[in-house]
Amino acid sequence: MINVTRTFLPPQDEYNAVLKRAWDTNWLTNRGVLVAQLETELKAYLGVSNIIAMTNGTLPLQIAIKALGLTGEIITTPFSYVATTSSIIWEGCMPVFVDIHPEYLTIDETKIEAAITPKTTAILATHVFGNPCDVEAIEAIAKKYHLKVIYDAAHCFGVTYKGLSIFNYGDVSTCSFHATKLFHTGEGGALFCNNKEWYDTFFYHHNFGHDGPLKFHGLGINAKMSEMQAAMGLALFPYLETIFIERKKVVNYYVNKLKGLNISLLKIRAQTDWNYGYFPVIFKSETELLFVEKVLNAKQIFPRRYFYPSLNTLPYMDKKEMPVSETVASRILCMPLYVGLDESELNTIIEIIKSCLK
């Protein structure tokens, strides 16, 4: 069986060796030494000033919305994972969708201003498949209208834009460390913020609002990462270069072998050092996609319709039309991509695609 991804696991004895430190101290959660070390190593590796490791990648979005005091309308993308939209609604705000660029698949920055109203308080945009939004244009719009900017950078571990970690852009960035991601902690995530005052606010929000064991700054929830999660991240660090190299090989193999087919691939924004997190293929029609998917599934190969459906069509939304997002969502399929996917398996996938498109 070939799934769309396979979790990269370090040798179990290496994970256990890191985890033993938590066992020895009998400190399994509440920000132990492993979480502290993981945050320190991530700051150095990514080149960021502040990070809060959390137990998943959705809570950072919710905490950012809450802590920044956002109300009313938040401009966002219909082409993302559902957590982007659901976090906005969960925190009592209204998502206002802006359609996407047909090649980059990120929010179309040229359409944002037309969606701004007196009720708009922020822009929450997704760097799709690790492909950066037009951060300069979005920053200019945000400054003009006094809006906050949050980036859902769930797919962006290791991505840089113009030499800086993509997490350094916007007022807040968030990342997922889910087991499907190229860097993971089993389940987990992080919030990044350059503003120290806001960082302190985010920090107490993620820890029940605590100011020491007996006092409270204010309202908070439990979003803390455990020592078991942090141990996985620390055990993965020695393998990061291997992970990036091997994934790049798989992506380049797909690109070279699929040349000449009537399909579209993701266009990476200029001056981006990409992380090879996903390999999406956009077919001519949904009918063609479904045929390819069916034949692949019959061979125990399971790509994923990611992202589908377009979020403006969710049952709890008003279904305002987003033509580009809707057509892309109906025609895009992410192909298997992970360390250890060998050429024979890749050739099987590629030959099936080619045969279906003849």
Q: Which domains does the chain have, with CATH numbers?
A: 2-238 (3.40.640.10), 240-356 (3.90.1150.10)
User: What phi-psi label fits residue 282: left (phi over 0), alpha (psi between -120 and 50 degrees) or beta?
Assistant: beta
pLDDT band at 211 (very low <50, low <70, confident <90, very high): confident
pLDDT of amino acid 81: 98
- Let me know: does 206 contact 220? Beta carbons within 8 Å: yes
pLDDT of amino acid 215: 74
Residue whose pair of structure tokens reads 């606010």 in the numeric block:
201
pLDDT at residue 216 greater than cutoff 90: no
pLDDT of amino acid 3: 98
Packing angle of the helix pair 227-236, 12-25 (nearest 10 deg): 140
Average pLDDT, the chain: 97
**Does the global pTM surpass 0.85?**
yes
- Let me know: does 104 contact 96? Beta carbons within 8 Å: no
Strand runs labelled E in the chain: 2-3, 51-54, 73-76, 94-97, 120-126, 148-152, 160-161, 164-165, 172-176, 189-192, 264-265, 272-273, 280-282, 301-302, 332-334
pLDDT of amino acid 213: 78
**Model pLDDT for residues 97-144, shown as the tens digit of each residue:** 999 999 999 999 999 999 999 999 999 999 999 999 999 999 999 999
The pLDDT of 184-188, averaged and rounded, is 98
pLDDT at residue 234 greater than cutoff 80: yes
Identify the sign of the CA torsion 286, 291, 296, 302. positive
pLDDT at residue 212 greater than cutoff 90: no
Identify the CA nearest to 296 among candidates 307, 284, 305: 305
- The SS3 of residue 357 is coil
pLDDT at residue 49 greater than cutoff 90: yes
- Let me know: does 238 contact 232? Beta carbons within 8 Å: no
pLDDT at residue 349 greater than cutoff 80: yes
pLDDT of amino acid 210: 84
pLDDT of amino acid 289: 98
Residue whose pair of structure tokens reads 């696991």 in the numeric block:
9
